[in-house]
Amino acid sequence: MSELTNPGSYTPFTCINKEAKKAFNQAIADLSGVGYEPFAASSQVVAGTNYRVLCNATVMVPNAEPYLAMITVFQPLSEEGKAEITNIEKLS
């Protein structure tokens, strides 16, 4: 039996898909200082799409310890709307 999500809730995390990766890359394009490698995503349809993206993160300094992070990205409905970060959370 498959698990269904409630309307308005986030989907379960799965390997990051093409749409989530595109929004993620657009949103982090101007960030510097930390490298983020996304590996899983969850989505929520609102007036656009929210993506929660799990990433391996590394501060760009010598001997930095990598950590797990979750970045929330909002992608507006409009194709011309730019995806933007709404939250970055260090998980470990």
CATH architecture assigned to 14-90: Roll (3.10)
- pTM over 0.85? The answer is yes
pLDDT at 92 over 50: yes
Q: pLDDT of 19-70, one tens digit each?
A: 999 999 999 999 999 999 999 999 999 989 999 999 999 999 999 999 999 9
Q: Where are the domains of the chain?
A: 14-90
3-state secondary structure the chain: CCCCCCCCCCCCCEECCHHHHHHHHHHHCCCCCEEEEEEEEEEEEECEEEEEEEEEEEECCCCCCCEEEEEEEEEECCCCCCCEEEEEEECC
